Amino acid sequence: QGPQQRLLAVLVLVLLFGVMLVQYICPGRSECPVLHQLGSWFREPGRETQDSLLRDPYIAEDGALVRFVPRFNFSKADLNRVVDFNINGDDVIVFLHIQKTGGTTFGRHLVRNIKLERPCDCRAGQKKCTCYRPGKKETWLFSRFSTGWSCGLHADWTELTSCVPSRMDSVEVLENLSSRNYYYITILRDPVSRYLSEWRHVQRGATWKASLHVCDGRSPTLSELPSCYSGDDWSGCSLQEFMDCAYNLANNRQTRMLADLSLVGCYNVSAMSEEARWAVLLESAKRNLRSMAFFGLTEYQRKTQYLFERTFHLEFITPFTQVNGTRASSVEVPPKTQQRILQLNHWDLELYEYARDLFLQRFQVARQQERRQARERRQQERRRLRGRFTAKQRDLWDQDENATVDDYMDNVEQW
């Protein structure tokens, strides 16, 4: 037992000496490189990278570190949206607001939360804000909260592209007679959540009767677009009643509102079979979505903010927040009913998967470009500073310059 006791005593002395040494070297332990190095010896492989990813607000928003595998092949033009928006010129952002996608929240961000030389004038008790360009009495934003429902309540792509230019020209005459640049934007949402949210909204009395549904210069007749209810509204309707109406515009609403309806004879459903009609509408919606200056997703608030800021070179004052607890999320839906909702919104599901893929690919490309630009700026600064060093100092500098965390993260985030 004597040798074992002596060995134990030696280990205790070594431990005490080590503690004293660390305290001497690292009086401020939180920033001590020696402690960080010691900790790295005992940290499981990949843990440091995982910790770095968790600190990333854009990845943390999604709740999981699942590798994103793209399903669709998009062109460089699709992924790199080059938008030369000039708020001082004649450019106009047009917000296509689809019901129950979080568009009201996003619309308020546009008029209240953007850092502008001339902020929008939003007064208490007024539904609309005045969003003028610097030095001009001209608006740069066409949306519910700036120009009202000028082209009809929740106007769709078919209505807006036909109405907005003439509406703007009638209100504001261009001095140089040049054509305006219109940049269309929208927000999409998971189809099931959006559908349930619309049902709950209708159940509380919403009707959207003021919607015009103008296509090819006219609104649909009652026979082309019958009403789902006979009274003033559809208050108190059950989810089953909501699903049973064959004319319910809630079904595949996002696809219909983003497509060119004139391609299928507008609301005349006798022009072609239902399957062929929706196939044409889906392809049209995808095409229009790709050509839009920007679109965001309700489920990715921080990424939506990031891409909008990168696209339009405008900065929001406060960050977007992800709200997962909505009225739709609180609805308990039996599996059989869920399956029915999926069937009713089959085309919206295809559109959303397509949009989500494009959105996440655009985000990754933008982040990679941002890091590349930051790396180039660092390299330029290093070259500038390097010229001031001696030959020996430059050799030491070059050794330290070879690897950076940003370069590593650049590879990690190519999901």
Q: How many CB atoms lie within 10 A of CB 186?
A: 25
* pLDDT computed for residue 225 by the predictor: 96
Give dist(CA 398, CA 386) in Å, integer. 9
* pLDDT computed for residue 406 by the predictor: 47
Residue 29: CB partners within 8 Å, gap ≥ 6? Answer: 22, 35
Taking Cα atoms as reference points, which of 143, 169, 191, 379 lies closest to residue 298?
A: 191
Q: Is residue 266 pLDDT above 90, yes or no?
A: yes
Q: Please say whether the dihedral angle defined by the alpha carbons of residues 10, 14, 20 and 21, taken in this order, is positive or negative.
A: positive
Q: Is 222 exposed, middle or buried (0-12, 13-18, 19+ CB in 10 A)?
A: exposed
How many percent of the chain have pLDDT more than 90? 67
* 154 in catalytic set: yes
Q: How confident is the model over 23-50, as a mean pLDDT?
A: 51
* pLDDT computed for residue 59 by the predictor: 64
Q: Is residue 26 pLDDT above 80, yes or no?
A: no
Select the more confidently predicted residue: 394 or 318. 318
* pLDDT computed for residue 285 by the predictor: 98
Q: Is residue 28 pLDDT above 50, yes or no?
A: no
> Which strands sit side by side in the sheet containing 141-142, from one edge to the other?
141-142, 92-96, 182-188, 294-297
Of the candidate ranges 126-140, 203-217, 375-389, the one whose mean pLDDT is the lowest: 375-389
Give dist(CA 220, CA 268) in Å, integer. 8
* pLDDT computed for residue 261 by the predictor: 98
Taking Cα atoms as reference points, which of 263, 283, 267, 397 lies closest to residue 347?
A: 283
Select the more confidently predicted residue: 409 or 68. 68
Under DSSP, is residue 114 helix (H, G, I), strand (E, B) or coil?
strand
pTM score, two decimals?
0.80
Please say whether the beta carbons of 150 and 167 come within 8 A.
yes
Give dist(CA 150, CA 137) in Å, integer. 18
Please say whether the beta carbons of 94 and 142 come within 8 A.
yes
Under DSSP, is residue 3 helix (H, G, I), strand (E, B) or coil?
helix
Q: Is residue 232 pLDDT above 70, yes or no?
A: yes
Q: Name the pLDDT band for 179 (thresholds 50, 70, 90).
A: confident
Average pLDDT over the chain, rounded to whole?
Answer: 86
Q: How confident is the model over 42-58, as a mean pLDDT?
A: 54
Select the more confidently predicted residue: 40 or 175. 175
Q: Is residue 407 pLDDT above 50, yes or no?
A: no
* pLDDT computed for residue 226 by the predictor: 96
Query: Which amino acid is residue 9, in one-letter code?
Result: A
Residue 105: CB partners within 8 Å, gap ≥ 6? Answer: none
- Give per-residue pLDDT as tens, 302-314: 999 999 999 999 9
Ordered DSSP codes for 163-230: HHHHHHHHH---SS-PPPPEEEEEEE--HHHHHHHHHHHHHTT---TT----BTTBPPPTTTS--S-S
Give dist(CA 232, CA 253) in Å, integer. 22
* pLDDT computed for residue 174 by the predictor: 73
Q: Is 292 exposed, middle or buried (0-12, 13-18, 19+ CB in 10 A)?
A: middle
In the chain, what are the domain boundaries? 61-169+177-374
Ordered DSSP codes for 43-79: SPTTHHHHHHHHH-HHHHTTTS-PPP---S---HHHH
Provide the CB-side half-sphere exposure for 168 (13 A, CA): 25
Residue 179, phi then psi, degrees to nearest 5? -80, 145
Q: How confident is the model over 183-201, as a mean pLDDT?
A: 98
* Packing angle, helices 346-386 and 335-344, rounded to 10: 80
Q: Is residue 3 pLDDT above 60, yes or no?
A: yes
Q: How confident is the model over 364-379, as a mean pLDDT?
A: 91
CA–CA distances in Å: residue 361 to residues 173, 254, 271, 307, 354:
39, 21, 37, 11, 11
- Residue of 154, 213, 313, 346 with catalytic role: 154
Give dist(CA 294, CA 169) in Å, integer. 23
Select the more confidently predicted residue: 412 or 318. 318
